[in-house]
């Protein structure tokens, strides 16, 4: 009898119980013809779509610092102060802010082309310790129905997950222009999604700054304009700021210019934007190279650091120390361009004209008097 009981218990443990456990806890089946590895859990359609949208916006995240400091931006003290209040202070000194005193959540930089709006954004990307998103209309507008709104929503979601963060939207007027009756329905939905994400019910943008830039602020929708709490006019640089811009863009290129020469250039370049001055400097730096191309005489200048102990530099046709030769006859490793001088910059100023007309400036001044502040 005892033998039958032991045998029944053995059958129960080795055959019946394992089958019952297999029924209660089924194991995932290996694919047919596979190696017996368990199948991966299925990914929901919602997760797949979120991953797709995040991948589309991954290129908008600035991973490498542009290496532009606040000191590299000449003038624009009001704009730099507003950006530091919104970007630097909340991160470094969070105790300065509370539920009542809050940093800016939206800053609009506007002004004529080439005055330094994008340059200021690069300085923000360099100086801030958070995540910097740089987006344009091509990143957010899709040909598929409803995908543009999802991209905008995902952009703000990513910014909130990675806060502190900055969302920089260049040429924001192309996305958020004034709403009208004959407007495309897709464009209207894009603006509506921007309005909701920037300042809508149920959205918390603490730690997220939206930084916009435009050349035509009067074309922005009124509701979008209101969401930019700080609207800063980036005007043409003053004379002293223009002198600093000349110096910055001249870089390490050797020249004979003194501080007084740079100040004179600043006075002579009235009406030039920062971008225009960069073009003037490029033109001036090329003039010594053109002197080498057109020269008919070169003279040797002793220099221990030069190959074979001397350089060949262009000289005047009447110079008795010069040797009759053209550029192609000069030993390539021994050619040296003359240093840039003040006359080169003045000649470049005559060749390169400003790109901003006074009518544009009057429109910006008028809009600033109504809605903005001077930067």
**Is 1 inside a domain boundary?**
no
User: Considering Cα of 77, then 267, then 119, then 257, what sign does the dihedral take?
Assistant: negative
Which CATH number does the domain housing residue 97 bear? 3.40.50.300
Q: Quick one: pLDDT at residue 268? A: 93
User: Can you read off the two tokens belonging to residue 351?
Assistant: 């060749």
- Are 67 and 201 found together in one domain? yes
Q: Which two tokens stand for residue 36?
A: 């017996």
Do 94 and 163 lie in a common domain? yes
How many independent structural domains does the chain possess? 2
Please report whether residue 106 resides in a domain. yes
- Kindly state whether residue 9 falls inside one of the protein's structural domains: no
> Does 20 fall in a domain?
no
Per the domain annotation, does 360 fall within a domain? no
Antiparallel, parallel or unpaired: β 297-302 and 310-314? antiparallel
Are 167 and 259 contained in the same domain?
no
Parallel, antiparallel or unpaired: strands 230-233 and 373-374: parallel
Same domain, 216 and 253: no
Residues 276 and 311 grouped into a single domain = yes
> What distances in angstroms separate CA 353 from CA 116, 234, 289, 346, 347, one per listed residue?
18, 20, 21, 12, 11
Q: Which domain holds residue 293?
A: 239-354
Do 276 and 319 lie in one domain? The reply is yes
Does residue 31 lie in a domain region? no
Residues 245, 225 within the same domain: no
Q: Are 246 and 277 in contact (CB under 8 A)?
A: yes
Q: Which has the minimum average pLDDT: 7-21, 319-333, 349-363?
A: 7-21
Residue 198: the pLDDT is: 81
Task: Mark whether 227 and 340 lie in a shared domain.
Answer: no
Cis peptide before 209 (omega within 30 of 0): no
Same domain, 199 and 251: no
- Residue 284 binned pLDDT confidence (cut-offs 50, 70, 90): very high
Bridge partners of 335, per DSSP, are 312
Residue 200 lies in a domain: yes
Q: What is the mean pLDDT of residues 231-259?
A: 88
pLDDT of 7 higher than 70: no
Let me know whether 214 and 111 are in one domain.
yes
Residues in Cβ contact with 375 at an 8 Å cutoff, skipping those fewer than 6 apart: 76, 77, 78, 79, 82, 109, 111, 232, 233, 234, 235
6, part of any domain: no
Listing DSSP states for 113-148 in one string gives TTSSHHHHHHHHHHH-SSEEEEE-HHHH--SSTTHH
What's the rounded mean pLDDT across residues 230-240? 89
Q: Check whether 71 has a pLDDT greater than 70.
A: yes
The CATH number given to whatever domain includes residue 306 is: 1.10.8.60
pLDDT of 354 strictly over 80: yes
83 and 117 housed in the same domain: yes
Of the pLDDT bands very low, low, confident and very high (cuts 50, 70, 90), residue 371 is: confident
Helices (H), 33-146: 45-57, 77-92, 117-127, 137-140
Q: Does one domain contain both 85 and 124?
A: yes
Most confident of 145-154, 222-231, 341-350: 341-350
What are 115-165's pLDDT values in tens digits? 888 888 888 888 777 788 888 777 777 767 677 788 888 888 888 888 788
Percent of the chain at pLDDT > 70 equals: 81
| Distance, CA of 257 to CA of 343 (rounded, Å) | 10
pTM of the predicted protein model = 0.75
């Amino acid at each position: 009898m005892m033998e039958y009981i032991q045998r029944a218990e053995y059958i129960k443990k080795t055959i019946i119980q394992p089958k019952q456990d297999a029924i209660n806890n089924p194991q995932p089946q290996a694919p047919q013809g596979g190696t017996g590895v368990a199948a991966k859990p299925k990914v929901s359609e919602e997760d797949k779509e979120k991953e797709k949208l995040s991948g589309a916006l991954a290129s908008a995240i600035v991973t490498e610092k542009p290496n532009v400091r606040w000191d590299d931006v000449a003038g624009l003290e009001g704009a730099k102060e507003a950006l530091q209040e919104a970007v630097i202070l909340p991160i470094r000194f969070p105790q300065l802010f509370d539920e009542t005193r809050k940093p800016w959540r939206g800053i609009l930089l506007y002004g004529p082309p080439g005055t330094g709006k994008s340059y200021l954004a690069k300085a923000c990307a360099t100086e801030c310790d958070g995540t910097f998103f740089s987006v344009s209309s091509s990143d957010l507008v899709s040909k598929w129905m409803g995908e543009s709104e999802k991209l905008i929503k995902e952009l703000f979601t990513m910014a909130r997950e990675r806060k502190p963060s900055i969302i920089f939207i260049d040429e924001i007027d192309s996305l958020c222009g004034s709403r009208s009756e004959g407007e495309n329905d897709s464009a209207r939905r894009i603006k509506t999604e921007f309005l909701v994400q920037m300042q809508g019910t149920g959205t918390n943008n603490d730690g997220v700054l939206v930084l916009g830039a435009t050349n035509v602020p009067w074309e922005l929708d009124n509701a979008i304009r209101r969401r930019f709490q700080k609207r800063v006019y980036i005007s043409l640089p003053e004379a002293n700021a223009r002198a600093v811009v000349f110096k910055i863009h001249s870089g390490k290129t050797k020249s004979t210019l003194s501080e007084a020469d740079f100040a004179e250039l600043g006075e002579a370049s009235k009406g030039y934007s920062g971008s225009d001055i960069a073009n003037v400097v490029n033109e001036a730096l090329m003039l010594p190279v053109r002197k080498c191309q057109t020269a008919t005489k070169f003279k040797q200048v002793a220099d221990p650091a030069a190959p074979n102990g001397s350089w060949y530099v262009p000289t005047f046709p009447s110079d008795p120390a010069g040797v009759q030769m053209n550029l192609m006859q000069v030993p390539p490793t021994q050619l040296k361009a003359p240093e840039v001088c003040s006359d080169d910059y003045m000649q470049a100023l005559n060749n390169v004209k400003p790109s901003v007309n006074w009518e544009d400036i009057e429109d910006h001044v008028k809009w600033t008097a109504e809605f903005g502040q001077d930067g």
